[in-house]
Chain A
Amino acid sequence: MRFLRMTGLALVAGFGLSAAAAHAAQAPSPTTAAGSAAPADDQAVSELKEHHRHHHHGGITKFISMSLDTLGTDDAKRPQIEKLQSDLHAQMGPAREAEKNLQLTLADGVAAGTVDTVKVNAAIAKLTTAADPMPEASLDTLNKLHAILSPPERAALVDKVQAHWEVWRQVNHEEKPGGRERGGQLAGLTEKLSLTPDQVNKISAALHTALAGLPGKFDPKKGEAHMHAFSAAFAGDSFDAKSVRSNANAHLASRGATRMALFYETVTPLLTPEQRTKLAEHLREHASYQSATSGK
């Protein structure tokens, strides 16, 4: 009898578990999408994350511009789209130059073994000021862009801008300071500079302390508000860029640049001279980054 009871219970439990597992497997989860057939961190993804760790100057406007890289419009529209993208690059020019100045200042400091925080803070302030206004011309460019794109293309652009925002937020806000996870900034630095285990331990602890006390916390709600306002407006049949009241560009530029600077200020004293030379070169490459479309 005891045997029969146990058998019955086992059957219930076993099939109950099977049902739960099957249900879980069917539930879609966009955020846990990585599968063996499509690695989560392939080369393109790694390079995008690295780009977003170093380029903050245009805020959401830069995400719009970057989204045009992969929008996949038909060939007939491509020249017009590239022209508008080039215009957006030009309109973000002052902020981009300020960011370049910051990266070169950081590179000099890394190479020398000590980052000049006074110079760096001044460079960040210039970048923030340059990124703040939405130039009248860029509003016109966005209106022209809306007019050229078909409804599916507009929807795709909005998806892409949101995707860039999500990645930017992940690597500049949500990533654990000093975390050693695969695809993280410290993991990338370890590979790039062949850091020793002892260096990794020290850098991880130092980043944890430094970034935890990051001055002026990033407020993702500001970015969300800008994203939401742009997405809702741009997906519609009519669009006026002036109607997008939120502007988080300066906030993203300022917070992203501050985090980037603090990262390099923190790791520099823990590197060998050879590693510093290599890292400085890496920063100079970012400073001279040129978009394929604009050449700027």
Chain B
Amino acid sequence: MNRSLVTMLTGVVVASCLASAPARAGVVVRIFPPAAFMATATPVYFEGHAAYWYGNSWHYRDGRNWRTYREEPRYLREYRTRREPERRYYGNRRR
């Protein structure tokens, strides 16, 4: 009886802790540009780094890591509305 109650209470405690953790419901799967995209996409330079528009977000390298702008900076948004970030095609028929 006691063990059952302890088990159940443990479940309730864990559940309440998880439920109260911030932003759990808003978890965003981060998507970073793969190498083949990097090699064919033209970046936009902003805040001292090259930013890439990929997967509907702007990403940039920070040392060995990638970072993503959670909110699109105004400069980059305006850039993107003026001109689509360029890609390079290496096919024989379309240079």
Contact = CB atoms under 8 A, between A and B. Distances in A.
Interface string B6-21: 0111111011001000
Contact of B39 (A12, A160, A291): A160
Instruction: Provide the main secondary structure of the chain A interface.
Output: helix
A28 B10 contact: no
Nearest to B25: A22
A156 B52 CA distance: 10
B95 interface: yes
A290 B91 CA distance: 10
Most buried by B among A26, A45, A49, A289: A45
Interface in B29-73: 29-45, 48-50, 54-56, 61, 65-66
A26 B34 CA distance: 17
Contacts of A243: none
A45 B8 CA distance: 53
A72 B7 contact: no
Interface in A141-169: 151-153, 155-156, 159-160, 162-164, 166-167
Interface in A252-296: 285-286, 288-292
Given A15-B14, A159-B61, A8 B7 contact: yes
Most buried by A among B5, B50, B56: B50
Contacts of B41: 44, 70
Given A31-B34, A70-B40, A11 B12 contact: yes
Interface stretch (A32-40, A82-90, A122-130): A32-40
A25 B1 contact: no
Contacts, number: 161
Interface residues of B, number: 51
Contacts of A48: 36, 39-40, 88, 90
A12 B10 contact: yes
Contact of A16 (B1, B5, B14): B14
26 contacts: A8-B9, A8-B12, A9-B11, A11-B14, A12-B14, A15-B14, A15-B18, A19-B18, A25-B27, A30-B66, A31-B34, A41-B36, A44-B37, A47-B91, A47-B94, A48-B90, A70-B41, A70-B42, A70-B43, A70-B86, A71-B43, A72-B50, A151-B48, A152-B49, A156-B50, A160-B39
Q: Which 4 A-B pairs have the closest CB atoms?
A: A11-B11, A8-B8, A156-B50, A8-B7
Given A12-B7, A12-B14, A44-B40, 17 more contacts: A11-B14, A12-B11, A15-B11, A28-B65, A35-B29, A44-B37, A47-B89, A48-B40, A48-B88, A70-B41, A151-B48, A155-B50, A156-B43, A156-B50, A163-B36, A167-B35, A286-B92
Interface of B: 1, 3-5, 7-12, 14-15, 18, 24, 27, 29-45, 48-50, 54-56, 61, 65-66, 86-95
